[in-house]
């Protein structure tokens, strides 16, 4: 059910995505040689192949984003770029469906060699996802045909293989499931299932990994030599020079931890079969993609055999291994999970892509279970850990997202590993997909964003069906006021009742929810959230969210209003996190706030003491746009200004922190 976000907060960001970000990213992909790699692979150009072995995936994610953008933003230039690139992919693809420029250019004839490290299946996965999205967005099959050829190759080569024939970076599983959804081709579903269920079963995984690692290094040395030879033969060549990267706090034992994590298989989620994975480990993006695929497989097949495991896994993540922003991945070297309660805000890697992966997983779980906790975390990650990844003008990005920064982390136009920008763009361009979901007799409203849901046919509880369309006006994230209008309500059998419950999420951060129907108050009983009461390490508990069900004989024009209060909330990490004691973070509605040194010349953000009683929301129309700041004072009476975390770093270099020392209560 795809809503079109027409006005308001998200519309503005999607406009930036469609008009600035997507073109900026293409230019960076061209400038960095990523697109040229395909021309070389197609035999149409000479030159250096640039970028990591997984560089192709960045172009595919861009293509997916661009296709989705084109669905609602006609743009001749973008269309030309998309069509031209698809044609190039058609020429670069080998006749048997294989497409991976690293091997095609440097190691022709070699394939599927170092599956745990070299990302071949990951890249093919993103190609397939782009093909599916391009088809869904434009109705064209040009890219879908390329995607199918690639998928058929994979099915033929991997169908009857053993546990090492799995990707080291999950992604192909999601792609095959999506391809199955649009083609109905059973082989793709079976292949995805085989990839999922083969995982974590390889004996001596560590040895196989060392073997592959040695091969990867040999191949990298060969590539380096080729590069040097090319540069000596072409003294006029100007290889692409990346903008500087960002700093991150790297604990002394990072390398050791990487080896321990990788050799045990945890880094790749290869340490145990999926039915025994109840603790989040390893690389956070891989983790999120794997479990998104597991959940999607359950949703598509209706077979919920992994649901209980996934619920435990999710709770463990939320309770012990997630940052207040919803960021995932505490250990920079691993780009992944650390130990329980290991949540150093400064070392936080919390990669933008990891937050997106978390959202994808939450969306699947939300649909399977109808439990509001998953949509709540989706929203929280969207507003905080994910949105922070794109600058206000769409042309600068963050990769790692610490919650405390003493300097050295700045928004950059591009990265050596530019996986996040296009991942964000494709997700933003598809946001309208995540608002509603239907089951027979139920319509879930998962997210509150201003937009229109075009006519859909939905099954009612008694077998009747109804054609409905909706209009939503949401004042989030600044105000707790949502209006939902039933613009069309047309039961297919008008002589029968059309019972349909509408379920509205009461967010974990909302207070005092009130409802009206056509202006008349509705007195609804709000279910109590069900959980064990253990405090999450981060201070944010999505398990507090619930759905409230409204059941009426609906009529066209019915207008539901939902209001709730958005008080400023002080968030404290669980007392067991010693390094967070005495510190507090501030949130309002779905937004986490932070303090930037730019707003506090002469003050030491890391030692001042926040007077929590002084905080109040204040409208501002500065260079960050029209936003609600939170202003207050420290214990010495100095004025403090907090901005939404997702906006930090937009005004130039700055120190920043989400966690502030707290002054003792007044009086
Ligand atoms: O390895 C491909 C992508 O690049 C991963 O998902 C990110 O963490 C980054 O390493
Ligand atoms: Zn990324």
Whether 169 is in the pocket of ligand 1, judged by its Cβ within 6 Å, is yes
Contact 353, 423 (CB under 8 A): yes
Helix (H) or strand (E) holding 482: strand 481-491
| pLDDT digit string, tens, across residues 627-643 | 999 999 999 999 999 99
Q: What token pair was written down for 598?
A: 């730019």
Centre a 10 Å sphere on the Cβ of residue 292 and count the other Cβ atoms it contains. 25
| pLDDT digit string, tens, across residues 324-379 | 999 999 998 899 999 999 999 999 999 999 999 999 999 999 999 999 999 999 99
User: Angle of helix 186-198 relative to helix 284-301, nearest 10 degrees?
Assistant: 130
The two beta strands, 609-622 and 660-662, are: parallel
DSSP 8-state symbol, 526: P
pLDDT of residue 568: 98
Could you tell me the pTM of the whole model? 0.97
Ligand closest to Cα of 282 equals 1
Range 207-215, long-range pairs (CB < 8 A, 24+ positions): 208/116, 208/164, 209/116, 209/117, 209/262, 209/263, 209/265, 210/263, 212/113, 212/114, 212/115, 212/116, 212/117, 213/114, 213/117, 215/113, 215/114
Chain length of the chain: 667
Ligand closest to Cα of 52 equals 1
- DSSP state string for 85-142: HHHHHHHHS-TTS---HHHHHHSTT--S--TTTS-HHHHHHHHHHHHHHHHHHH---H
Contact 484, 448 (CB under 8 A): no
- Residue 264 CA to ligand 1 center (angstroms) comes to 19
Centre a 10 Å sphere on the Cβ of residue 40 and count the other Cβ atoms it contains. 19
> Which residue, chain included where needed, has tokens 């850990």?
385
| pLDDT digit string, tens, across residues 107-153 | 999 999 999 999 999 999 999 999 999 999 999 999 999 999 999 99
Whether 417 is in the pocket of ligand 1, judged by its Cβ within 6 Å, is yes
* Backbone dihedral angles phi then psi of residue 464, each to the nearest 5 degrees: -65, 165
Whether 351 is in the pocket of ligand 1, judged by its Cβ within 6 Å, is yes
| Averaged pLDDT score across all residues of the chain | 96
Which residue, judged by its Cα, is nearest atom 10 of ligand 1? Answer: 417
| pLDDT digit string, tens, across residues 384-395 | 999 999 999 999
| pLDDT digit string, tens, across residues 14-50 | 999 999 999 999 999 999 999 999 999 999 999 999 9
- Residue 198 CA to ligand 1 center (angstroms) comes to 22
Centre a 10 Å sphere on the Cβ of residue 615 and count the other Cβ atoms it contains. 20
Whether 353 is in the pocket of ligand 1, judged by its Cβ within 6 Å, is yes
pLDDT of residue 276: 97
- DSSP state string for 446-463: ----SEEEEEEEEE-TTS
Whether 419 is in the pocket of ligand 1, judged by its Cβ within 6 Å, is yes
- Residue 58 CA to ligand 2 center (angstroms) comes to 10
Would the pLDDT of 287 be above 80?
yes
Round to whole Å and give the CA distance between 71 and 133: 10
Residue 499 — pLDDT band, cuts 50, 70, 90? very high
CA–CA–CA angle 335, 340, 345 (5° rounding)? 55
- Residue 285 CA to ligand 1 center (angstroms) comes to 7
CA–CA–CA angle 264, 265, 266 (5° rounding)? 90
HSE-up of residue 287 (Cα within 13 Å, Cβ side): 31
- Residue 419 CA to ligand 1 center (angstroms) comes to 6
Round to whole Å and give the CA distance between 586 and 45: 54
- Residue 299 CA to ligand 1 center (angstroms) comes to 26
* Ligand 1, atom nearest to 169 Cα: 1
Which residue, judged by its Cα, is nearest atom 3 of ligand 1? Answer: 419
Task: Calculate the alpha carbon distances from 309 to 174, 306, 534, 542 in Å.
Answer: 19, 5, 19, 18
Question: CA-CA-CA-CA torsion for 222, 262, 192, 127, nearest 10 degrees?
Answer: -40
Strand order from edge to edge, sheet including 436-439: 436-439, 442-445, 501-506, 546-551
| pLDDT digit string, tens, across residues 60-104 | 999 999 999 999 999 999 999 999 999 999 999 999 999 999 999
| pLDDT digit string, tens, across residues 239-265 | 788 888 887 777 888 889 999 999 999
Whether 285 is in the pocket of ligand 1, judged by its Cβ within 6 Å, is yes
Q: Out of 335, 356, 400, 427, give the residue to mutate to test ligand 1, the one with the largest number of ligand atoms within 8 Å of its CB.
A: 335
* Ligand 1, atom nearest to 122 Cα: 2
* Ligand 1, atom nearest to 417 Cα: 4
Q: Averaged over 481-506, what is the pLDDT? A: 97
HSE-up of residue 474 (Cα within 13 Å, Cβ side): 20
Residue 667 — pLDDT band, cuts 50, 70, 90? low
């Amino acid at each position: 059910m795809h809503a079109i976000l027409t006005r308001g907060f998200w519309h503005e960001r999607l406009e930036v995505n469609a008009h600035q970000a997507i073109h900026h990213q293409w230019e960076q992909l061209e400038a960095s040689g990523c697109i040229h790699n395909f021309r070389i692979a197609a035999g149409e150009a000479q030159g250096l192949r640039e970028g990591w072995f997984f560089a192709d995936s960045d172009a595919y994610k861009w293509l997916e984003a661009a296709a989705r953008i084109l669905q609602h933003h006609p743009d001749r230039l973008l269309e030309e770029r998309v069509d031209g690139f698809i044609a190039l992919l058609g020429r670069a693809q080998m006749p048997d469906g294989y497409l991976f420029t690293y091997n095609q250019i440097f190691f022709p004839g070699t394939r599927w060699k170092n599956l745990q490290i070299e990302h071949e299946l990951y890249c093919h996965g993103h190609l397939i996802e782009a093909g599916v999205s391009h088809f869904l967005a434009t109705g064209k099959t040009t890219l879908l045909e390329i995607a199918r050829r690639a998928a058929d190759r994979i099915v033929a080569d991997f169908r009857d293989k053993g546990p090492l024939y799995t990707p080291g970076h999950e992604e192909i599983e999601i792609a095959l499931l999506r391809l199955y959804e649009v083609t109905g081709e059973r082989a793709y579903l079976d292949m995805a299932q085989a990839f999922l269920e083969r995982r974590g079963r390889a004996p001596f995984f560590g040895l196989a990994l060392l073997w592959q690692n040695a091969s990867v290094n040999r191949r990298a040395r060969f590539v380096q030599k080729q590069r040097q030879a090319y540069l000596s033969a072409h003294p006029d060549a100007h290889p692409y020079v990346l903008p500087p990267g960002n700093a991150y706090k790297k604990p002394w034992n990072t390398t050791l931890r990487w080896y321990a994590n990788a050799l045990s298989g945890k880094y790749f989620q290869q340490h145990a079969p999926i039915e025994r994975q109840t603790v989040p480990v390893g690389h956070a993006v891989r983790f999120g993609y794997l479990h998104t695929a597991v959940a999607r497989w359950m949703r598509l097949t209706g077979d919920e055999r992994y649901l209980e495991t996934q619920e435990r896994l999710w709770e463990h993540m939320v309770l012990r291994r997630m940052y207040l922003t919803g960021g995932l991945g505490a250990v920079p070297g691993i780009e992944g999970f650390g130990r329980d309660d290991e949540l150093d805000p400064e070392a936080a890697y919390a990669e933008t892509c990891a937050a997106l992966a978390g959202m994808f997983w939450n969306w699947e779980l939300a649909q399977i279970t109808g439990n509001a906790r998953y949509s709540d975390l989706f929203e929280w990650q969207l507003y905080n850990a994910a949105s922070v990844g794109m600058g206000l003008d769409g042309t600068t990005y963050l990769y790692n997202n610490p919650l405390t920064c003493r300097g050295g982390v700045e928004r950059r136009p591009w990265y050596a590993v530019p996986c996040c920008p296009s991942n964000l763009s494709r997700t933003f361009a598809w946001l309208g997909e995540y608002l509603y979901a239907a089951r027979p007799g139920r319509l879930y409203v998962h997210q509150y964003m201003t937009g229109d849901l075009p006519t859909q046919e939905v099954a009612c509880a008694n077998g009747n069906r109804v054609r409905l369309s909706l209009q939503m006006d949401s004042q989030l994230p600044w105000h707790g006021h949502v209006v939902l209008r039933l613009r069309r309500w047309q039961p297919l059998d008008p002589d029968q009742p059309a019972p349909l419950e509408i379920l509205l999420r009461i967010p974990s951060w909302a207070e005092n929810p009130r409802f009206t129907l056509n202006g008349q108050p509705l007195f609804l009983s709000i279910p109590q959230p069900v959980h064990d009461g253990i405090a999450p390490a981060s201070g944010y508990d999505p398990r507090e969210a619930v759905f409230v069900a409204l059941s009426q004989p609906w009529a066209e024009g019915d207008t539901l209003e939902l209001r709730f209060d958005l008080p400023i909330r002080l968030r404290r990490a669980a007392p067991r996190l010693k390094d967070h004691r005495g510190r507090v973070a501030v949130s309002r509605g779905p937004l986490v706030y932070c303090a930037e040194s730019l707003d506090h010349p002469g003050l030491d953000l890391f030692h001042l003491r926040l007077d929590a009683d002084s905080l109040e929301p204040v409208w501002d129309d500065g260079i960050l746009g029209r936003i609600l700041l939170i202003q207050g004072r420290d214990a010495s009476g100095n004025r403090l200004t907090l901005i939404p975390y997702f906006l930090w770093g937009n005004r130039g270099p700055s120190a920043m922190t989400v966690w502030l020392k707290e002054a003792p209560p007044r009086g």
